[in-house]
Structure 1
Amino acid sequence: MRLDLQPWGETMAELVIAARAAEAAGAGVVWAPELHRSAFTTAAALATGTSKVAGGEARIGVGTGIALAFARSAMLTAIAAADLDELSEGRFRLGLGTGVARLNQDWHGVEFERPLPRLRDTVAIIRKVLAGGDPINHKGVRSIRVRGWRRPYAPVREHIPIYLAGVGPAMVALAGEVADGWIAHELCPPADLRDRILPILGKAGRPDFDVVAAACCSVDDDPATARRRAANVVGFYASVRSYAETFGAAGFGEVCENASNALRNGRPADDLGHLVPDEMVDAYTIAGTPAQCAAKIAAYDGLADAIKLSPPSYGLPAEEVRESQDRLLELVGSLR
C-alpha cells in the first residue's frame, strides 16, 4: 500500500520543504488541498520543488486533493491540469470534489443544483479539452461550445488521471464509473471503507483504479498527547450538519449536538476537541504512539491502494503542527 502525504506549511516555502521530506521518506504522492490556499498554486509549488526524475523514472507524484470542481470553469480546470502535468513532467493527478452547497453558493457564487450530473459533465468536459481537437462540444448541466481553439503545446501524456472525492453513495458510485481513482474524506475508518465504499466503487475488473483512503495521523510517544492533537479535527466535522447522521449511527450523536451548540455560541469551529471523547478520536483518526499508528495504518492494507496521511492542524499552534508533521514523516520513513 502506498503512503501519501498531505503536507502542512505555515508558508509556501515550508510546504515545499515538507514535500521534499515526504519524498525522501518514500511517500508516493503529495496532495494539495483547497481551502486557505489554491490547490493548483500549491500543486505547482510542490511539482517544481520536488524531484522530477530519478534514474530516468518519475518519483513522487503531485495531486490536488481536492480542488473544487465547480468554482472554476471545466475548461480552466483542464488547462491548469495540463500545465501542472507539464511542470511535473507527467506526475500530476487531478483530484476534484464538489464541496458543500453553502461553500459553492455563498463563498464562490456558483450554482450547486444537481451536483451529481454537474460533476459528471465536469469530468467529461475536462477530458474533451485535454484530448484536444476543434470543435469541443458538450451539452448537459454544465455545457461547453468552443470553436477555433486548440492548445498549441504537445501534452506530456495522453491521459492525466482524474480522481473524485465522494462521501455519499451516489458520488462514490460516480467516481467508480467515470474517474481513475477515488479519494476518501479525512475521516474514513477501515470498516467504512470495507463495508460501504468498496462495494459501491465496484473496483472488480478495474485493476488500475486507485482507491485512496485518508486519515489525520497524530503520532506521539504519549498517546494522550496524540489524541488531544487530533481531537479538534473530529470536533470540527462533528459540528457540521452533513455528518450528523453518520456520527449518530456510530453512537456519537450527543457529541454532534454539543459541538453544534458550542459553534452557535461562538466557539471557533477548529476548537471543539474538548467535546470529543477518546473513543471517537480512536474511531475516526490514526492517533497514538508510532507502533499504534503503524498498526492502524496496516488495517487499511488490502482495502486501499494508498492512504493520504495528514498531520493534525486544527486549532493548534504552528510549532505543535510542525512537531506533529515531523513525527508523521518519521513514521512514513520507518514503514517504507
Structure 2
Amino acid sequence: MHLDLGVRDAAPDAVLAAARHAESGDFDGIQVPELAHDPLIACALAGSVTERIHTATSIAVAFARNPMTVAQAANDAQLASKGRFSLGLGSQVKPHIEKRFSMPWTAPAPRMREFIAAVRAIWDSWETGERLNVRGEHYTHTLMTPMFSPGQNPYGSPEIWLAAVGPAMTALAGEAADGFIAHAFTTPEYLAEVSLPALADGRARSGRKTTDVILTPFVVTGSDEPERAAAEKAVRSQISFYASTPSYRPVMELHGWENAADALHAASRRGEWDQMGQLITDDMMQAFATFCAPADLRPALEARFASVATRACVT
C-alpha cells in the first residue's frame, strides 16, 4: 500500500517544500486538496521539482470548472511530473457550488459521469487528432483547432480518481474512474459492507476489472503523551463534526450509533462545536481512527487497510 503525504497548505513555496520533504522521506506521493489554493497548479509545481513521488489532487472541485479547463490543467500537471500525476475529482456540495463558485447545481452523479466522459474525450481528441464531439445534457465541446491542442502527451493521459461517500457516486467511481477516494469518515466495516460492493456494481456496468481504493484515514499519533493527547482531541473533534452531518449518517447507522448522530446534530445546531468531541466514545474512536507511534505509521495502516486499499494519505 502506497503512503502519501496530504498537503493542506498548497501555496507555491509551501507545496514545493512539502514535495521535497516527501521525496526525501518515506512517502510515495503527495495529495493536494482544494482549500485556499488551486490544487492543479500545486501538483504541477510539485511534479516539476521531484523525480520519484506521485502527485494527485484530492480533490479538485469538478463542478467549479468545466471539462476543457480541467483537461488542460491536468494534462500540464502530467507533463510537469513526467507521468506521475492523477486527477482526483469531487463534486463538493450545493451551497459551495452555487454560493462560493457561482456555478449551477444539478444531480451530481449523472453530471459527474458526463464530466469524466468529456475530459476523456478531450484527451482522446488531442491524442488522436480526431474531431472533438461532446454533446451532453450539461457539457458541449465541439471545437478544437490545432492552435489549441497540445497534441499527444508523451506520458499518456492521467488517471482519474473520484471522491465519493454515497453508493451512487461510489458506483460511478467503479464505472468511470481509475480510482475511488473514500471519505475520511469511514470505517473498515463501512468499506466492506457498503463502499466495495457499490464499486463492484459500477465495474460490472462498464466492464472495468479493477478500481484503486485511496483512503484518507484519521490517525492519532505523537512522539510523546502531550502530542498524542492533542492529536486525539483533534481527531475526536473532526469525527464529531462529520458525525453531526446528515449526509454521513449512514456510516453511523451501520454501527448502531443513530442516537449519537442525533445528539451530535442537535449540538451542532446549537453551535456547541467545542463540546461535541466529548460525545465521541472510545469505541467510535477505535472504529474511525488508527492509533500508532510515528515510526509505525506505515505498518499500522497496512495492517488495517492493505487488504482493501492501494493508497493511504495522511496529513
Aligning the two structures, in what range does the TM-score lie when normalised by the shorter sequence?
Answer: 0.7 to 0.9
| Contact 2:83/2:156 (8 A) holds in 1 | no
- The aligned counterpart of 2:242 is 237
Counterpart residue number, 2:282: 278
Distance 2:250 2:306 in 1: 27
* Partner SS, residue 217 of structure 2: strand
Structure 2, unmatched stretches of 5+, are none
Query: How far apart, CA to CA, are the structure 2 residues paired with 1:241 and 1:36?
Result: 26
1:84 pairs with 77, 90, 106, which one?
Answer: 77
The match for 1:138 among 129, 134, 139 is 134
Q: Name the aligned partner's letter for residue 303 of structure 2.
A: A
Map of 2:86 onto structure 1: 93
SS at 1:70 equivalent: helix
Question: What is the SS of the residue equivalent to 1:158?
Answer: coil
Match for residue 70 of structure 1 among 60, 63, 69: 63
2:29 is the alignment partner of 1:29:
yes
In the superposition, relative to structure 1, how do residues 41 and 213 fare at CA in structure 2: closer, same or farther (>3 Å)? same
Point out which structure has higher relative CO (alpha carbons under 8 A, 6+ apart).
Answer: 1
Aligned letter for 1:200? A
Kindly provide the CA deviation profile for residues 304-335 of structure 1, in whole angstroms up to 9, marking residues without a partner as x.
Answer: 1111223xxxxxxxxxxxxxxxxxxxxxxxxx
Q: Aligned-pair distance for 1:13?
A: 2.5
Distance 2:32 2:280 in 1: 27
**Count of paired positions:** 302
Cα pair distance change 1:99/1:215, threshold 3 Å? same
Q: Deviations over 1:189-215 (max 9, x none)?
A: 222222322222226985663221221
2:160 counterpart of 1:162: yes
CA distance in 1 between counterparts of 2:177 and 2:48 reads 26
| SS in structure 2 of the partner of residue 36 of structure 1 | coil
8 Å contact kept, 1:5–1:29: yes
Aligned to 1:209: 211
Question: Does the 8 Å contact 2:163/2:181 carry over to 1?
Answer: yes
1:332 counterpart residue number: none
What TM-score do the two structures reach when normalised by structure 1? 0.80
Q: 1:116: which partner in 2?
A: 109
**8 Å Cα contact 1:134/1:146 also seen in 2:** no
* 1:136 aligned counterpart, secondary structure: coil
User: What is residue 18 of structure 2 aligned with on the other side?
Assistant: 18
Counting helix residues as a fraction of each chain, which structure ranks higher? 2
Task: State how far apart, in whole Å, the 1-side matches of 2:145 and 2:188 are.
Answer: 46
Q: Distance in 1 between matches of 2:3 and 2:60?
A: 20
1:23-66 Cα offsets, whole Å, 9 max, x none, are 222322211111332221222332234x12xxxxxx11101111
User: Please, what is the CA RMSD of the aligned residues?
Assistant: 2.6
Where do 1:262-273 residues align within 5 Å?
262-267=267-272, 272-273=276-277
- Residue of structure 2 in register with 1:260 after alignment: 265
- If the length of structure 2 is used for normalisation, what is the TM-score? 0.85
Change in Cα spacing, 1:11 to 1:296, as seen in structure 2 (3 Å) is same
- Asked if structure 2 preserves the Cα contact closer than 8 Å seen for 1:85 and 1:156, the reply is no
- Match of 2:14, as an amino acid? E
Cα distance change on mapping 1:170 and 1:177 into 2, 3 Å: same
Q: 1:137 to 1:153 in 2, by over 3 A?
A: closer
Match of 1:155, SS state, is: coil
